[in-house]
Structure 1
């Protein structure tokens, strides 16, 4: 196992504090410092793991500070902001509209609803170039007032329909 300098140790601890995996840290060390460090040596710098339980107090302090700063800085990450996510979904919906992608527009609308905390579900099938068609919609028999049919449970399923559909 290679001996790591203090600067490299701090870089490893900070990366692990920001939830980078040991494999990602290993690649970073190879790219930035041209070091081949085994994953089990990297894990020893994460005090939240069994292997890292003996991490020095100074590196533990670096880890704790980096983790706190990372977690407190979530709002500075654009995609974590609801408005930013809605803006991205709006751009996707507009692109889908321009391309005539009806399914894409519906997926974007569903995503926007989930972002806002809604629970909209797609209850219709979409034809590729035609209107939205709703299946399993109740049909009102001929000669029956629709409001009266709803109140009297006289609706028929499409399978039981009058045969003129």
Structure 2
């Protein structure tokens, strides 16, 4: 493509949406070249991100597309499997089974540690001791009650 040749609206929208989904200009450029078969300069791609200095002059309709796409992308994070603890633990479990069958103890220990961290240090050797009472106040001293036992003639 000639340096001054104008992109179509569809091509511009493609770049805007890729950048709105946090693709780097290089990644967006690569995807653009694969999709449209057109070579662009990286700095030309960066223009389609209105959150940057070079994209400040982007047309209002493209800015709106950018902000809508970004909002939808961020709202859709639940659709990405790795954002769910159960998916991450299932993956770790598959790895554990794979490496346990191969007697790869260091890798297995690393996977077990990763699973413990995923669960919130549930299986570590860390002991948490309570040194303060409610709201950070000192703990009340333990009271000891002494019971006097009958002598029953033993001394």
2:43 to 12, 22, 40: 40
RMSD: 1.5
| Alpha-carbon separation, structure 2, partners of 1:3 and 1:71 | 30
Give a deviation string over 1:90-121, Cα, whole Å, max 9, x none. Answer: 11111111111111111111111222222866
How many pairs are equivalent? 122
Gaps of 5+ in 1: 123-165
Residue equivalent to 1:16: 19
Equivalent of residue 107 in structure 1, options 101, 105, 110: 110
Q: Which runs of 5+ in 2 are unaligned?
A: 126-155
Instruction: Tell me the TM-score normalised to structure 1 length.
Output: 0.70
1:61 corresponds in structure 2 to 64
Q: Does 1:92 align with 2:69?
A: no
Higher RCO (Cα < 8 Å, 6 or more apart): 2
**Separation in structure 2 between the aligned mates of residue 73 and residue 62 of structure 1, nearest angstrom:** 16
The verdict on how the C-alpha distance between 1:99 and 1:19 changes in structure 2, with shifts beyond 3 A counting, is same
1:21-57 CA-partner distances (Å, limit 9, x unpaired)? 1111111111110111111111010011000011111
* Mapped contact 2:116–2:124 kept (Cα < 8 A): no
* Larger-Rg structure: 2
Q: Which runs of 4+ in 1 moved over 6 A?
A: 119-122
Structure-2 residue corresponding to 1:159: none
TM-score by length of 2: 0.74
Alignment of 1:74-93 (within 5 A): 74-93=77-96
CA distance in 1, matches of 2:117, 2:17: 33
